[in-house]
Amino acid sequence: MRNLNDFIIFAHVVDHKGFAPAARVLNVPKSTLSKRVAELEKTLGVRLINRTSRRFTVTEVGEDFYRHAAAMLIEAEAAEAVVMGRLAEPSGTVRITASVPTAQMTLAGLLPRLALAYPKMRVVLHATDRFVDLIQEGFDIAVRDHFAPLPDSALVQRRVATEPIGLVAAPGYLAEHGMPSGPEDLAGHDGLLASLTSEGWTLRNEEGAIVSVRPTPRFIADESQVLLEAALAGLGIVAFPRKLCRAEIENGTLVRVLPGWQAGVVTTTLLMPHRRGQLPSVRAVVDFIAERLAEQGADR
């Protein structure tokens, strides 16, 4: 019978991207880990890792093997969680990834409260705008704010919030150019757009009427904070989810334009590798985020 401990050792080595980092985390000699992985390769009859003095890379078959070994490790952690009573009080490390805007505007106010609610849990957030492979990079949860449906994948998806996108502008801009009374008036206004290819906004009201409008493209940027500053400077009208400009609307530095119309919807979805989503700590984080975002939606 194969030594299943070697499967777990291999998963740890890949997770930590090398024998030396894994040895430090596991408090096991590096030589021991190297020996066990070499024995595993010998037993399987394949090379799982290409290693030199300077590089550590996982082979193609090693990547396939890792996915199953990592799943086994997750199941082992879940079994331990039941035995140790972690169902009652979630603990351990939960790794979360999100884009920089999502981290700033969706998670910044939630994760500290999550850490206070679960003192035995360690929350790790990685904010990046690059593509992240949850399984390969060892993340438990990805938080995605998106305007179009996410593509199908092997990941578990849980939609936790939707928020309409509305039009806003600075009071000074509206005092100079006038407050639009209907979508047709937007053609004479300056627009702050998020894409070079954007020709404007498609607006929808509560009765289901749909209107495409084309303001003058006064300023274009694909970064939310830049567009926000442009709106505050009085350059024109911008389409924003409320969470991006809640404070500015409340303090009056931005006001809503055509509040009966919306320019789309932003959806917040949590993505999880199937087996990691079964861990008590991960479920606790998912439920916490979902409940708090639902409360925020009810307050709007």
Residue by residue, DSSP assigns 233-258 as: TT--EEEEEHHHHHHHHHHTSSEEES
Candidates 1.20.1440.60, 3.40.50.2300, 1.10.3720.10, 1.10.10.10; CATH matching 4-83: 1.10.10.10
pLDDT of residue 267: 92
Structure tokens at 228: 């926000």
Residue spans of the domains in the chain: they are 4-83, 92-158+267-299, 163-265
- Say which CATH architecture domain 163-265 belongs to: 3-Layer(aba) Sandwich (3.40)
Domains 92-158+267-299 and 163-265 share a fold: yes
Q: Return the CATH fold of 92-158+267-299.
A: D-Maltodextrin-Binding Protein; domain 2 (3.40.190)
pLDDT of residue 169: 97
Cα–Cα dist 300/289, whole Å: 17
Single-letter residue type at 36: R
Overall pTM > 0.75? no
DSSP state of 88: T
Q: What is the mean pLDDT of residues 74-81?
A: 71
pLDDT (tens digit per residue) in 6-33: 888 888 888 888 888 888 888 889 899 8
Place of tokens 């193609």: 60
Residue 144 and residue 102 in contact, taking contact as beta carbons nearer than 8 Å? yes
pLDDT (tens digit per residue) in 211-244: 999 999 999 998 888 999 999 999 999 999 988 8
Q: Is 300 a residue whose pLDDT tops 60?
A: no
CA angle 136/146/225 to nearest 5° reads 105
